[in-house]
Amino acid sequence: MPRVISHEQLCAFTERLFEAAGANSEEAVVIANNLVTSSLFGHDSHGAMRIPEYLGFIEDGSIVPGAKIQIEKKSATTAIVDCGQGFGPVGATKAMETAIEMAREQKTASVITRRCNHVARLGAFVQLAADEGMIGIATCNSPMYGDWVVPFGGSEGRLSTNPIAYGVPTEGDPIIADVSTSMAPEGKIRTYMNQGKMVPDGWVQKSDGTPTNNPAEFYGPPKGGILPLGGSAGHKGYALSMLVEILGAAYAGLSSTATDLFGNGVCFLVLDPATFCPLETFKQMTQGMVTYLKSSPPAPGFKEVLVPGELEFRTRRQREVDGISVDDPTWDRMCDFAKQWNVEIP
């Protein structure tokens, strides 16, 4: 049975594990908050499940604790942030904070990352912009080792799950959209496998291109593929995935087929809506749009119309009360690391 633990306990346990693994206290706080908050929002595929994965990356040298983050080639509205092969959430947070600072002065900003490890939930960073009254847009790709997604009409992976996210301030909770350009992120498929469940129809295929619901047949060997977003209209998700690849690789002067890269290629765009109208007016307009969308009578099988991020904020409030469910494989690996480093297990 999955273990249910409060987010405060899970956060404190995660901080202790990462400090024991060599992270400094500031890094440990950022990583723990990022991953635990992802689980609070219901995105378990980018939450607690990643804790032992990141600890393993430290052990094998893929993540460098304490890595120096450097801002390079900075202009009034652009910058490259070299994350030093440190923790992805730490480097990406610095990159978004840099973009917000520039957009506050220049009304727009574009920041890309280099040597950035896995950043976990992309929506966390656009929310940083939305919370500051800005519009945040983010794309995120992975190098060749993360090419799980088949191009439309193909049978072998050539693309990452390549998510796109945006955050927009309103008078209430911000609008937060965070979607992969594939039918599902790989981490969600791994979550299904950890829970002993079959994945929904149309998500994945076996290595020979035939469909399957069994995540074990997807992982192989030989490895299968994730289908692009859109089902029979998957050419649309495929086109969006290519845009993410362009912004995460070519735009940064990197090759999407390089075999020596690790982590994520992230592009952040930040826009200040106050450039065109007062911020409060903009918030009123977006809130009015939300109200209008939600006024549509629900179709059969639906209770209500939701806007992007609404379900996640509800989930967060509920899990802050009920706790976070951590699957057995994830918890067992966390406890193994804790025993290895004499860290107290809650």
* Per-residue pLDDT tens over the stretch 43-88: 998 999 999 999 999 999 999 999 999 999 899 999 999 999 999 9
Q: Which long-range contacts (CB under 8 A, 24 or more apart) does 70-74 make?
A: 71/98, 74/98
3-state SS string over 6-52? CHHHHHHHHHHHHHHCCCCHHHHHHHHHHHHHHHHCCCHHHCCCHHH
pLDDT the model gives residue 181? 97
In this structure, are strands 225-226 and 108-114 parallel, antiparallel, or unpaired? unpaired
Q: Does the pLDDT at position 146 exceed 90?
A: no
The dotted CATH code for 184-226 is: 3.30.60.50
Q: Tell me which amino acid residue 214 is.
A: N
Mean pLDDT score of the chain: 95
pLDDT the model gives residue 189? 94
132 pLDDT tier (thresholds 50, 70, 90): very high
pTM, full prediction:
0.93
261 pLDDT tier (thresholds 50, 70, 90): confident
Q: Does the pLDDT at position 249 exceed 90?
A: no
pLDDT the model gives residue 283? 98
Across 261-271, average pLDDT: 91
Q: Does the pLDDT at position 259 exceed 80?
A: no
pLDDT the model gives residue 315? 98
H or E segment and range at residue 4: strand 3-5
Per-residue b or e along 246-265, where b marks 16 or more CB atoms closer than 10 Å to that residue's CB: ebbbeebebebeeeebbbbb
* Per-residue pLDDT tens over the stretch 158-195: 999 999 999 999 999 999 999 999 999 888 898 899 88
5 pLDDT tier (thresholds 50, 70, 90): very high
Spans of all domains in the chain:
1-65+323-346, 67-181+231-286, 184-226
Q: Does the pLDDT at position 11 exceed 90?
A: yes
Q: What percent of the chain has pLDDT over 90?
A: 90
Residue 295 CB: number of other CB atoms within 10 A? 8
Q: Rounded CA gap, 22 and 340, in Å?
A: 13
The dotted CATH code for 67-181+231-286 is: 3.30.1370.60
Q: Does the pLDDT at position 290 exceed 80?
A: yes
**Does 1-65+323-346 carry CATH code 1.10.1530.10?**
yes
pLDDT the model gives residue 258? 76
